């Protein structure tokens, strides 16, 4: 594996210079009816048991947690993973495994939460779309906080779109998905007026050609759908600190039938030191943006030198606390963006993953954080799981 540091952070993903956090000049106290409990995602990932696949459907969505208390927890995770007809049993059966890391946050007056989702309709040749929404803080009982952060709390990507353009070839089924050139998302606050938040949301779902001529002929015309699930956090008398990573990993092409493991980024690349401005017993960690830019320079096909798409075996983002000293505020975060095309069968190309990502650590008084991991192997398709703690 070769490691290359290149390109400014999110140059390929972001079309605007954005910020994740915002504060407004307001001396009023937080709304007394604010929601003080939430499920906060710190990362998710999918992997295939046997081989690599196209992406047809990917979904992680926490549900049913609104203003939950530590005693009455009814949270669920709606999840899905489909990799085309070689995963569903039409041509072959494969088994996905979900890993979902999350935090159950309970606060008194110093944190407030509101969740929502934003739909995206991507049409080739565009591979990303930026939208702006406005949150009415008064309506959501979230006025009066010192700072605001918007976090990525879930993601859905779906190629199963029946209404394709007239030029879309009849001999390829969009439900079988496409080989990937990368996935990315960015959430940020553009403006805080004190009564409203204006939020920018960007989603990237990029595809590239590989060894299927019928799929390749569909690439110039495809429509795909996406959805970002966001979580706005109001922070009172707390600390919000941002960490970012930028690393590029290049691997040699795995040999035929060689089921190799592509090593992740090193700890030195993934880990970021921060200093929290205050002593807090518990911290929340969440993502504000990430981007997998695969085959960035279009050089992974040695014969044509043309951009290509990958069948993926693994893809995940995970933000975790390595060390935290509450007395000093010193914090060490690990931000891992991992992807692999390695397969026990055929990998087609050398793998090139340029990953960029940003996460925030949030500290406030009188906050309880329970950190949980859900790992579940399931039949290809969709599933609804209770978020009841560490489980397999």
d(CA 295, CA 180): 10
Greatest mean pLDDT range, 12-16, 183-187, 251-255, 386-390 = 183-187
Residue 298 lies in a domain: yes
On whether the CB atoms of residues 83 and 54 are closer than 8 A, the answer is yes
Q: Which residues form the domain of 174?
A: 2-373
* Per-residue model confidence (pLDDT) at position 299: 74
Taking 70 as the threshold, does the pLDDT of residue 16 lie above it?
no
Residue 240 pLDDT > 50: yes
| pLDDT level of residue 143 (50, 70, 90 thresholds) | very high
Has residue 385 been placed in a domain? Answer: no
pLDDT at 256: 84
382 belongs to a structural domain: no
Q: How far apart are CA 378 and CA 391, in angstroms?
A: 13
| Residue 19 pLDDT greater than 90, yes or no | no
More confident call, 69 vs 251: 251
In a domain, 201, yes or no: yes
Provide the pLDDT for residue 24.
57
- Top pLDDT among 12 and 134 is at 134
- The model's confidence at residue 74, banded by pLDDT at 50, 70 and 90, is confident
For residue 188, what pLDDT band results from cuts at 50, 70 and 90? very high
Task: Specify the pLDDT at position 278.
Answer: 86
Residue with the bigger pLDDT between 243 and 391: it is 243
| Lowest model confidence (mean pLDDT) among 60-74, 196-210, 236-250 | 60-74
pLDDT exceeding 90 applies to what percent of the chain? 80
Q: Which residue has the tokens 């699930």?
A: 229
Determine the pLDDT at residue 5: 34
User: What pLDDT is attached to residue 300?
Assistant: 73
Backbone dihedral angles phi then psi of residue 221, each to the nearest 5 degrees: -125, -5
Q: Residue 72 — pLDDT band, cuts 50, 70, 90?
A: low
Tell whether 386 is covered by a domain.
Answer: no
**240 lies in some domain:** yes
Residue 98 has pLDDT above 90, yes or no: yes
CB 79 within 8 A of CB 383: yes
**According to the model, what pLDDT value does residue 313 have?**
97
What pLDDT is stored for residue 69 in this prediction? Answer: 57
Bigger pLDDT: 272 vs 346: 272
* Amino acid 352: pLDDT: 96
10 pLDDT exceeds 80?
no
| Confidence grade of residue 67 (pLDDT, cut at 50, 70, 90) | confident
pLDDT band (50, 70, 90) for residue 28: confident
Average pLDDT in the 354-368 region?
A: 96
Judged against a pLDDT cut of 60, whether residue 81 lies above it is answered with: yes
Question: Residue 12: pLDDT band by 50, 70, 90 thresholds?
Answer: very low
- Specify the number of domains making up the chain: 1
Q: Is the distance from CB of 66 to CB of 115 less than 8 angstroms?
A: yes
Any domain includes 234: yes
Give percent above pLDDT 70 in the chain. 91
pTM of structure: 0.92
- Supply the pLDDT for residue 2: 36
Whether residue 196 is contained in a domain is answered as yes
pLDDT at position 34 over 80:
yes
Q: What average pLDDT does the segment 274-287 reach?
A: 94
17 pLDDT higher than 60: no
* pLDDT-derived band at 141, boundaries 50, 70, 90: very high
pLDDT at 255 over 60: yes
Give pLDDT tens digits for 123-134: 999 999 999 999
Q: What's the mean per-residue pLDDT of the chain?
A: 90
Helix (H), strand (E), coil (C) string for the chain: CEEECCCCCCCCCCCCCCCCEEECCCCCCCCCCCECEEEEEEEEEEEECCCCECECEEEEEEECCCCCCCCCCCCEEEEEEECCHHHHCCCCECCEEEEEEEEEEEECCCEEEEEEEEEEEEECCCCEEEEEEEEECCCCCCCCCCEEEEEEEEEEEECCCCCCCCCCCCCCCHHHCECEEEEEEEEEEEEECCCEEEEEEEEEEEECCCCCHHHHHHHHHCEEEEEEEEEEEEECCCEEEEEEEEEEEEECCCCCCCCCCCCCCCHHHHEEEEECCCCCCCEEEEEEEEEEEECCCCCCCCCCCCCCCECECEEEEEEEEEEEECCCCEEEEEEEEEEECCCCCCCCCCEEEEEEEEEEEEECCCEEEEEEEEEEECCCEEEEEECCCCEC
């Amino acid at each position: 594996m070769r490691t290359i540091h290149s390109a400014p952070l999110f140059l390929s993903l972001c079309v605007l210079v954005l910020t994740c956090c915002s504060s407004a000049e307001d001396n009023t106290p937080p709304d007394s009816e604010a929601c003080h409990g939430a499920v906060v995602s710190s990362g998710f990932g999918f992997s295939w048991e046997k081989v690599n696949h196209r992406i047809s459907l990917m979904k992680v969505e926490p549900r049913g947690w609104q203003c939950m208390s530590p005693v009455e927890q009814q949270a669920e995770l709606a999840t899905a993973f489909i990799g085309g007809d070689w995963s569903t049993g039409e041509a072959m059966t494969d088994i996905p495994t979900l890993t979902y890391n999350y935090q159950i946050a309970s606060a008194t007056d110093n944190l407030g939460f509101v969740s929502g989702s934003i739909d995206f309709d991507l049409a080739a040749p565009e591979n990303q779309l930026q939208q702006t929404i406005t949150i009415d803080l008064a309506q959501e009982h979230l006025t009066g906080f010192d700072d605001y952060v918007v976090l990525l709390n879930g993601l859905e990507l779906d190629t199963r779109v029946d209404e394709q353009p007239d030029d879309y070839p009849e001999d390829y089924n969009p439900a079988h998905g496409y080989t990937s050139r990368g996935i990315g998302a960015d959430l940020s606050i553009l403006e805080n007026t004190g009564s409203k938040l204006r939020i920018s949301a960007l989603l990237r779902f990029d595809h590239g050609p590989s060894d299927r001529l019928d799929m390749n002929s569909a690439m110039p015309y495809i429509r795909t759908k996406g959805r970002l699930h966001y979580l706005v956090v109001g922070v009172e008398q707390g600390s919000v600190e941002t960490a970012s990573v930028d690393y590029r990993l290049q691997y040699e092409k795995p040999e035929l039938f060689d089921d190799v493991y592509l090593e992740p980024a090193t700890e030195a690349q993934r880990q970021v030191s921060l200093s929290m401005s205050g002593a807090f017993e518990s911290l929340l960690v969440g993502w504000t943006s990430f981007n997998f830019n695969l085959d960035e320079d279009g050089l992974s096909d040695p014969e044509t030198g043309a951009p290509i798409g990958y069948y993926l075996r693994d893809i995940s983002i995970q933000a975790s606390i390595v060390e935290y000293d509450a007395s000093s505020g010193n914090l060490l975060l690990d931000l891992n963006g991992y992807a692999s095309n390695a397969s026990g069968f055929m990998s087609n190309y050398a793998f090139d993953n340029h990953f960029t990502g940003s996460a925030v650590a949030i500290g406030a008084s009188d906050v309880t954080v329970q950190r949980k991991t859900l790992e579940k192997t399931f039949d290809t398709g969709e599933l609804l799981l209770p978020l009841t703690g560490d489980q397999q």
